[in-house]
Structure 1
Amino acid sequence: MRIVPQPVIKLIPYHDMVLNRLSVRPFVDLLASFHNVLIISTLLRIILILYSEWHDAHSVVKYTDIDYRVFSDAARFILHPGPENKAQGILGAALGVGDPYTRQTYRYTPLLALLLLPNEWIHISFGKYLFAGCDILAGILIYKLLVSTVLPSVRKPSSDNSSPSSIIRQASLLTSIHLLNPLVFSISTRGSSESVLALFVLLTLYCALERKWTLAALALGLSTHWKIYPFIYGVACIGVIGSERGMGKGWKGWLRSVVNWRTVKFGLISAASFVGLNVLMYLIWGYPFLYESYLYHLHRRDHRHNFSPYFYLIYLTYPFPGDSIPELSFWRQVIRSPLTSFLPQMILSLGGGLVFGRSKRHLTFTWFVQTFVFVIFNRVCTSQYFLWYTLFLPLLIPQLKMTARWAAIYTAVWFGAQALWLSEAYKLEFIGEHVFFGLWVRGLVYMVAHTWVLAGVMNAYLG
């Protein structure tokens, strides 16, 4: 029996015959121009934001994310200080500003509330336009990276696809994967701030791939201040910086590549950027900033259902009002501690950075793996977290060697695991059925399925 090899997915455009059969050629040609992609992406977001205002005014179920109202309220508290709403830092008292943490459940950097101050001055939807604009800027960075770094590095000089016009066409199509992703534009137009973080992370990656390490360190510090998880990328950056001048033999050579003046400089600058922003925020808003942004998450026990299988243990041991919780043994307290779940998460995500982060060429792949692992093993996981690693897909796809069949299978499993979980979550959230155990089991299926997908992507890159 002769085995016929499957076609290998290289770079867009590929298998023109399939595109013609599916009659999608005009659509592909439209997206082959980055100018067209930008126009379509921008108009789409403007229309959705305008629609959100109409929808919210006429429907009980709001289009706008509840977090957007939290952000807007925090901005309002900064602008309108009062007897019970004063910044508690030394500089804050001198500036006479309010405290964004007066708004309960606001547990973000004050920079987010500052960005949304025009919600009070200009229009309540200003923040949505800002977040949508960050989407567009992130798309521009993706396009620039594809044209300048990613696509030229994977193309053979003699190939027809290595011509400038071909690279531009491919970059436009790949960038549309991000800009026209329904999850991306729906989240930003609903008022989630994830797009701001995505822009900071991409800016860090752009500077790193361009070997502008001082700017990369500053951007990494800013990203980590905005949300703590990007600190994991620092390990891969240090590995790349250390390997640029070669590695010696043995463990001593490896150690010298990791610990030298250039890597120490990068670490100091990124730490100074992170610490400097935190000190400034503390001087203005005092202890509430420190507690709500950082200390709260050390003992946070989120019992609400989410993709993470950790939620069920938290739910079973959560001290609801009126419940009598028996005293737990030391080891049971260790198991239920939020810090315990960090151990496999940190070992895998930081370990991935050490193993794969040894070359600039592999940096995008390394960040993708680190982030994917971080999300899978995080104590809390919602759909927005998937954006943290799908952000890198347009940059990673050209470097994958995968058959069309397996690409379809991995995509189906990735979406299918989520659909399986959501079907059970619907029973709990909207019908009120007691399906916590079933939801936990489906959370385990989600973890196994997404881990399998990650393994497939890694094999397609490394194989």
Structure 2
Amino acid sequence: MSEPQTETKQSPNPPAYLSTSTLLWFSLLVRFLFLLYSFYQDTYLPVKYTDIDYLVFTDASRYVSQSFTPYLRETYRYTPLLSWLLLPNVTWFESWGKILFVIFDLITGWVIIKILRLMKVKEAQAVRLSSIWLLNPMVITISTRGSSESVLTVFVISFIFHLIQGDHIGAGVLAGVAVHLKIYPVIYIPTCLLFLVDYTKPCELVCNPLKLINSKTLKFGLGAAASFLTLSSAMYYIYGWEFVEHTYLYHLTRTDHRHNFSIYNMSLYFTSSLSSTNSFEAAQSSYPIVNHLLSTDLSKLAFVPQLALSSVVIPLVYTKRSLSHTLFLQTLIFVSYNKVMTSQYFIWFLIFLPMILSRSSLITTMRAKGIAMLLFWILGQAAWLSQGYNLEFLGQACYYPGLISASVAFFASNIYVAMGIIDSVDGLSSNDGL
């Protein structure tokens, strides 16, 4: 008697709406509609849709088109490369930059999908997770308003992709470009080096730092140094010290206190305002203790916990357990402890969210905690925005307890999210490094 034949069951193909091409085309359509709406709001409504920074970029490009330095435009604090990229704003179409930012935005999402595939995430799940970026209203709004963050995110996520893929030179080159564009990605360099080193406990590297040197780390380091130094040297040759001052040094000493979610916001505000008042000068001569308290800028201490945690502690402890969780954590901590924090900065850690959720218990066994983290973060942000609106649009003096309390609450929500991510790292069933 012949044995019955058994059919091999194949996993069904995901439905069309969960395909990568469908998601990318739909994401493009949504962004196109946002751009169309931006023209309407900018034309007919008193509150403009376009970000003020986009006007700064365009003015800087106009100076470049006339063979001047882009830094003639006050508040232009970026690499001259950005003003070069946006030259068509002046010579062709004023919304060219927005289109470019949308393209980079979409490429970022596409690379996220490629990384998820490298992490062996199923196609349908990869599409769902990448939609956290591609269909995120915050991400879409930021790029279509004319913020340049997507230019940076595409280089950051691309060098992570090449790092995971094993292209160490390519990863280094892209990392160097990212640091040239904006200095904060330098915090990822220690993480990348640790990812390429064989060790089991952080104390091994502390006791023997030479373990950091191998062919992989040398290729990555040389690639990063080559691209960063080449671009920065070229910009310095053309524009001199003002390039270094405005692109890098300014961000180490900036004291913006408007639209600033940071816990140091009020310290920056009072320091900048009190130092120029007659009452402060009187306090200087009559009350030395009061003078000392008022003149102390607590934000100067921000770099200590910020860099210690984001550049040293978190990479050392978590890189070998999960690269994606480490990148998210160090970025979240860097942003949370930064003395200036605007909504654009949230994009910096959102690019890693699909990666960590692909392996996280926060969407499975710890789903309730994941929802609580999301709600706490949204409510903390909403509390600050309500106070910020009262201050900047209605002119209400709500510094204390309103704005200070809201800043503390939002900082606490960020730390709560970080703690939840740490718990999810501890709960990983396997440590494959990704």
Q: So what's the TM-score if we normalise by structure 1?
A: 0.81
Displacement of 1:201: 0.5
Query: For the structure 1 residues 316 and 253, does the alpha-carbon distance in structure 2 shift closer, same or farther, using more than 3 Å as the test?
Result: closer
Pair 1:225-2:187 in alignment: no
TM-score, length-normalised on structure 2? Answer: 0.87
Residue pairs, 1:38-437, within 5 angstroms: 38-80=24-66, 97-147=67-117, 149-152=118-121, 167-243=122-198, 250=204, 254-260=208-214, 262-319=216-273, 323-324=277-278, 325-326=280-281, 335-336=296-297, 339-350=300-311, 351-358=313-320, 362-402=322-362, 403-437=366-400
Q: CA deviation at 1:357?
A: 1.8
Deviations 1:49-107 (A, max 9, x none): 12212221212211111110110111111001xxxxxxxxxxxxxxxx22111111111
Q: Which residue of 1 aligns with 2:406?
A: 442
Offset at residue 332 of structure 1 (A): 6.0
CA distance in 1, matches of 2:298, 2:410: 22
Q: Which amino acid aligns with 1:374?
A: F
Flag the 1:251–1:430 CA change in 2: closer, same or farther, 3 A: closer
- Is this contact kept in 1: 2:274–2:294, CA < 8 A? no
SS at match of 2:338: coil
Query: Do the aligned residues in 1 keep the contact of 2:78 with 2:181 (CA within 8 Å)?
Result: yes
| Alpha-carbon distance, 1:377 to partner | 0.4
Q: Report the CA distance shift for 1:251/1:119 in structure 2 as closer, same or farther (over 3 A).
A: closer
Which digits, 9 at most, give the CA deviation of each residue in 1:354-373, with x for residues without a partner? 221236xx211111111010
1:410–1:453 CA contact under 8 A, matched in 2: yes
Structure 1 Cα separation of the partners of residues 405 and 228 of structure 2: 39
Conserved in 1, the CA contact under 8 Å of 2:105 and 2:143? yes
CA distance in 2, matches of 1:176, 1:31: 12
Code of the residue aligned with 2:301 in structure 1: it is T
Contact 2:262 2:338 in 1 (8 A): yes
Q: Which runs of 5+ in 2 are unaligned?
A: 1-13, 428-434
Identity of aligned residues (%): 38
Q: CA offset at residue 461 of structure 1?
A: 2.5
Q: Which moved more, 1:342-351 or 1:259-268?
A: 259-268
CA contact (8 A) 1:198 1:391 kept: yes
Report the AA paired with residue 110 of structure 2: I
Contact preservation (8 Å) 1:247, 1:257:
no
Structure 1 CA distance, aligned partners of 2:92 and 2:53? 20
1:398 shift after superposition: 1.4
2:11 maps to none
| Distance of 1:249 and 1:105 partners within structure 2 | 44
Secondary structure of the 1:132 match is helix
Question: Given that residues 202 and 317 in structure 2 are in contact (C-alpha distance below 8 angstroms), is that contact kept between their aligned partners in structure 1?
Answer: no
Question: Partners of 1:239 and 1:457 in 2: how far apart?
Answer: 20
Q: How far is 1:269 from its partner? A: 3.0
Distance 1:318 1:34 in 2: 49
User: Are residues 249 and 56 of structure 1, via their aligned partners in 2, closer, same or farther at CA, if it must alter by over 3 Å?
Assistant: closer
* Structure 1 position 252, deviation (Å): 7.2
Matched residue pairs, number? 402
Range that drifts further, 180-189 or 396-405? 396-405
Equivalent position SS for 1:301: coil
Conserved 8 A contact 1:247-1:253 = no
Q: Conserved in 2, the CA contact under 8 Å of 1:219 and 1:270? A: yes
Contact 2:271–2:295 under 8 Å retained in 1: no
User: How far is the alpha carbon of 1:333 from its aligned partner?
Assistant: 9.3
- Residue 303 of structure 1 and its aligned partner are, at CA, apart by 2.8
Tell me if structure 1 keeps the 8 A contact 2:152–2:182: yes
- Indicate if the aligned counterparts of 1:248 and 1:254 stay in contact, CA closer than 8 A: no
**TM-fit CA distance, 1:278:** 1.1
* Stretches (4+) displaced over 3 A: 28-31, 246-254, 259-262, 319-322, 324-335
Alpha-carbon displacement from aligned partner over 1:321-365 (angstroms, at most 9, x marks no partner)? 952444588986995175421010001101211221236xx2111
Contact 1:305 1:311 in 2 (8 A): no
Partner of 1:5: none
Q: CA RMSD in A?
A: 2.4
The C-alpha deviation readout for 1:106-163, integer Å capped at 9, x for no partner, is: 110111111101112221111101000011111110111112x2235xxxxxxxxxxx
Query: What is the deviation of 1:38?
Result: 1.0
Any unmatched runs of 5+ in structure 1? 1-27, 81-96, 153-166
Contact 2:142 2:344 in 1 (8 A): yes
Secondary structure in 2 matching 1:318: helix
Separation in structure 1 between the aligned mates of residue 216 and residue 124 of structure 2, nearest angstrom: 37
The whole-number CA distance in structure 2 between the counterparts of 1:169 and 1:449 is 31
Q: Which position in structure 1 is the counterpart of 2:8?
A: none
1:421: how far off? 1.2
Once the 2 structures are TM-superposed, how far is the Cα of residue 231 of structure 1 from its aligned partner? 0.4
Q: Which amino acid aligns with 1:406?
A: K
Residue aligned with 2:358, SS: helix
426, 429, 433: which is aligned to 1:462? 426
Q: Could you tell me whether the CA contact under 8 Å between 2:262 and 2:340 is conserved in 1?
A: yes
- Aligned-pair distance for 1:249? 9.0
